[in-house]
Structure 1
Amino acid sequence: MSRELTRLYRALAADTDERALPAPDRVRRGADRRARQRAAVGALAVAALVAGTAAGAQLVLAAGPDVDPAPATTTGSPSPSPTAVPPSPGRTTPPPSARTPHAPPSTSARPPAAGPTRIPDRAFFTLAAANDAGTGSTFGSGRVLPALCGATPGESGIVTRRARSLAFKLAGTPEGYLPDGSYRHTITVYRPGRADDALAELRRAVRDCPTRTGSDRGEGLTSTQRLLPDAGYGDESVLFEVRRPATDYEGAPTVKEVVRLVRAVRIGNVVTVLWELGWEGTSTPRSQLDSDSRRAVLAIRDWLR
């Protein structure tokens, strides 16, 4: 053994001899104290963990549906946007911004607008200046159509009716001469859907009465009735003629036959009838009836606006 190694051993022995080792029971008490400290620290940690868990559960239960679970995160996708929080069950009134404004009342249940219940003078047309006979118009009750084998077309569903009589002269007839013809002019307002029925009834009545005995001016004469093609007046129209032999009063034997024209025109729920009655044996001039029918339609449309 070398001298240096011997010297080191001696120094170690001297240093060890100066430090007294603790007694065995002291060492055991220290170990027990450290064990108890570790056990106490562990128990405190467990208690804290249990208390924190219970408090978190109470918060979740108290929050109710206002607390959403954390959304699942998909690997590689961007972080999800925050989910809208539904309203609390205790809230019954939505915020002002979410309230739906009251819708206006529906108009589908409203009753249809009522039609006219009276017919003013302005609903009747005015003769052109060249056809004005200067006799004016006379309003009053009377027949609307010539007799058609006892049929009475257009007499149901009436709201109101008004009639007048007026005479006319042809353009070029000098002043002071007798009129060239006259009209029985009526305007009838029907309930909705009944005006077209009235014209259908009139067509049927003319077809069902091709001939009849007894004229509108007296008994004993046979007349014939027939429908004529017609279009371009109002919403629809019916035109028919009545032919019969002339009477002595009407110019026989110079005049052998008299022809009367009748036109009914529907404008919406209104029907106007121009029945040309002539004047002392004259027949109805078709061109004059056409012109006055157009004026009659325009007058009614202006009135109904």
Structure 2
Amino acid sequence: MSNTESDPAVERAFSALSTDAERGLLLSGPELRRQSGNRRNRGMAVTAGTAAVLVAGAIGVGFALAGNNQKTALPPVTSASPTVAPSPSVTLPSSPPTSSPSSTPPSSPPSSTPTTNAPSIPKSIPARALLTKAESRTGELTRQDEARGVPEFCSKAKFPSAGQKGVAASVMLIYRSASAPEGSIPDDVVYDTVTVFRGEGAQDYLTELRRAVQLCPEGKIGDLDAQFDNLGSLGLGDESVLIERSYAALDGEGEPMNNGSRTATYIAAVRVGDAVTLLESQGYENLASDRGEIEKLAKIAAEHLADWR
């Protein structure tokens, strides 16, 4: 043991180790392995690595002390700090790829504003949209101060389209047919009313006229009991209807003749887009209206409305 204590290489080895390493050299090889195993079982990774270095140092010293008292060179110590075994690598989850922002801005949502080709509601009805003085053939035409309301049927007839009315105007003309001799009495009194509706009001109005005939096969014209019949379409405009209303014939004094004869007057309605021209004949001095003449006037009125609207 005297040779070991005087060997300078051994002293350099001891001085290069930490206090724990010096204490580990005093233990035997089996004891070092037992304690090293216990430390690993306790999960102390850094301490286990230090123990491994101590064992290696002890083995190296053993080689230096062996060989029949012959000196064995030790490798130079490069660091006084113990080498710690690297911990097992842990694979961390990779971050999700981040997409680079697009340089193209998102498209704007389509506009929800509905578009329509319907013309706007006019401020008034021009004279050219109505029947004219020349077409009366008597020269007698009067524009009414207020537009006429819906025709008279019975209490069951309803006209909710009146709430969609935009603007309206009426004229009254004293009518003489083209076949009547000059200077003869007029044939009829006719009211022409043009109404422009909002939304679907014009279509609704025509539907309500037809429905009124169904609900009111019998009704009133003033104080007279009347009958109503739908004569069908006139074949004019976008849609049309001709309605006959009749009552017991009256004499010159306005009294019922009581002979079974009846007097007929007519309602003719023609729709062009959002507007309706409606003709109501009343007869002249208790005379009946002529259906053929009313159909001719309805065609002229439809042309006026189509040219304007």
Decide: shared fold, TM above 0.5. Answer: yes
Aligned to 1:239: 242
The aligned counterpart of 1:258 is 263
Q: Helix, strand or coil for the counterpart of 2:305?
A: helix
Q: 2:276 aligns with which of 264, 271, 294?
A: 271
AA paired with 1:229?
G
CA deviation string 1:209-251 (max 9, x = no partner): 0112x432xx2x3211111122411111121111101233358
C-alpha displacement of 1:110? 6.3
Answering whether residue 111 of structure 2 is matched by residue 122 of structure 1, we say no
Distance in 1 between the 2:130 and 2:112 partners?
34
Describe the SS at the equivalent of 2:162. Answer: coil
| Alpha-carbon distance in structure 2 between the residues aligned to 1:255 and 1:281 | 15
Residue identity (%): 30
> What code does the residue aligned with 1:296 have?
A
2:193 is matched with which residue?
186
Q: Give the drift of 1:274.
A: 0.5
For 1:147 and 1:109, the matched residues in 2 are separated by 40
SS at match of 1:290: helix
After TM superposition, the structure 1 = structure 2 runs for residues 38-49 of structure 1, keeping only pairs within 5 Å, are: none
Query: 3-state SS of the aligned residue for 1:148?
Result: coil
Deviation at 1:172, TM superposition (A): 3.1
Question: In 2, distance between residues paired with 1:132 and 1:262?
Answer: 20
1:207 aligns with 2:210: no
Distance 2:209 2:150 in 1: 9
Paired AA for residue 228 in structure 2: Q
Q: Name the residue aligned to 1:160.
A: 167
Aligned-pair RMSD on alpha carbons? 3.2
Quote how far apart the aligned CAs of 1:134 are.
1.9
Amino acid at match of 2:236: Y
Residue 83 of structure 1 is matched in structure 2 by none
Q: TM-score, normalised by structure 2?
A: 0.57
Report deviation, 1:152.
Answer: 4.0
TM score, norm. by length of structure 1: 0.58
Matches within 5 A, 1:1-305: 109=113, 111-112=115-116, 114-117=119-122, 118-126=124-132, 132-141=137-146, 143-150=148-155, 151-153=157-159, 154-212=161-219, 214-216=220-222, 219=223, 221-248=224-251, 249-250=253-254, 253=257, 256-304=261-309
8 Å Cα contact 1:145-1:275 kept in structure 2: no
Q: Counterpart amino acid of 1:137?
A: T
- Change in CA separation of 1:250 and 1:171 when aligned onto 2, cut-off 3 Å: farther
The 1:179/1:107 distance shift into structure 2, 3 A limit, reads farther
- Whether contact under 8 Å (2:234, 2:242) holds in the other structure is no
Q: Deviations over 1:104-129 (max 9, x none)?
A: xx898465354232211111133666
Runs of 4 or more, structure 1, over 6 Å off, are none
Structure 2 residue aligned with 1:58? none
Number of aligned residues: 203
Q: 1:209 to 1:109 in 2, by over 3 A?
A: same
